[in-house]
């Protein structure tokens, strides 16, 4: 019997898609910048057949700018056939161009880690409208004051769901810099596995300013209202198998 796996990203910055030799037409690897929650808060939640598996200590992404691979493995061989996506996936991503009038370049080295997918099917999740508030960063860089300007963005994905189906001989692994730290093989999964990467509101706004390669003029940034940062595409191609 097959096992359905869903990896749920609560946020993230989709870095430009990576095309490798040998991939099928229209397929890419997806790299997503992520920030760690405050110490003591789980960065990774695991639900096995709808029951949460508690880890002590809690699972953390860490903040060493490591690469964390989410990978499908068949009989010891990692599936590197590239990601696929629903037709609406890219259209439902928040594009920073809609906030700034142009694309924004991120610095991958400024993220706490990079989540990397070389397979899996990307789907938009929790699609709804969202307000953003223009805010000015103070000279210390630790606080923001709103300018009073707002923008409403309709129909954007607030989460991303990445789907895998495990057949006989398959496992789903999370590996940090090549070293596996979570595997479906060790969890006793019968039917369903969900791996969630929640983002605390305390660090949520980091996705909208901390990794910008070039600071914004006058230190003015667009931040999601009430935090809860939707995933964004700062500078296409950003994770869409179609490349746009």
**Other Cβ atoms closer than 10 A to 76:** 7
Question: So what's the pLDDT on residue 17?
Answer: 78
What is the dihedral angle through the alpha carbons of 200, 10, 59, 183, rounded to the nearest 10 degrees?
180
Provide φ and ψ at 54, rounded to 5°.
-90, 130
- Averages of pLDDT over each 10 residues, the chain, 244 residues: 96 87 84 93 95 94 95 95 92 95 95 96 96 90 88 96 97 96 96 97 92 94 90 78 40
Listed in sequence order, the DSSP H helices in the chain are 89-92, 97-100, 201-204
Provide φ and ψ at 239, rounded to 5°.
90, -5
| SS3 assignment, position 188 | coil
Domain ranges for the chain: 3-128+157-203+229-233
Beta strands in the chain (DSSP E): 3-9, 13-14, 30-34, 45-48, 51-53, 66-74, 77-78, 84-85, 94-95, 113-117, 121-137, 144-166, 170-176, 179-183, 192-197, 220-224, 232-233
In this prediction the pTM is 0.93
Question: So what's the pLDDT on residue 141?
Answer: 66
Q: Please provide the distance, in angstroms rounded to a whole number, between the alpha carbons at the two ends of the chain.
A: 36
**129, 152 Cβ separation under 8 angstroms:** yes
Q: How far is CA 103 from the centre of its chain?
A: 18
What is the dihedral angle through the alpha carbons of 204, 212, 178, 241, rounded to the nearest 10 degrees?
90
**146, 220 Cβ separation under 8 angstroms:** no
């Amino acid at each position: 019997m097959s096992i359905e796996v869903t990896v749920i990203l609560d946020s993230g910055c989709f870095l430009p898609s990576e095309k490798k030799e040998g991939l099928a037409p229209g397929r890419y690897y997806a790299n997503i910048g992520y920030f760690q929650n405050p110490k003591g808060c789980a960065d990774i939640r695991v639900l096995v057949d709808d029951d949460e598996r508690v880890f002590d200590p809690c699972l953390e992404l860490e903040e060493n700018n490591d690469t964390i691979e989410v990978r499908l493995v068949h009989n010891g061989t990692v599936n590197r056939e590239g990601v696929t996506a629903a037709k609406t996936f890219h259209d439902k991503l928040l594009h920073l161009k809609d906030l700034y009038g142009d694309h924004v370049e991120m610095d991958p080295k400024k993220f706490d880690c990079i989540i990397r997918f070389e397979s899996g099917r990307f789907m938009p999740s929790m699609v709804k409208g969202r307000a953003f508030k223009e805010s000015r960063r103070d000279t210390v860089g630790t606080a923001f004051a709103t300018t009073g300007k707002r923008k409403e963005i309709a129909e954007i994905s607030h989460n991303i769901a990445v789907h895998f189906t495990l057949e006989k001989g398959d496992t789903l692994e999370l590996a940090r810099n090549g070293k596996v730290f979570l595997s479906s093989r060790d969890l006793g999964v019968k039917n369903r596995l969900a791996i969630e990467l929640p983002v605390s509101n305390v660090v949520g706004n980091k996705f909208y300013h901390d990794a910008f390669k070039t600071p914004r003029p006058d230190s003015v940034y667009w931040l999601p209202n009430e935090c809860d940062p939707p995933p964004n595409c700062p500078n296409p191609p950003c994770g869409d198998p179609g490349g746009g």
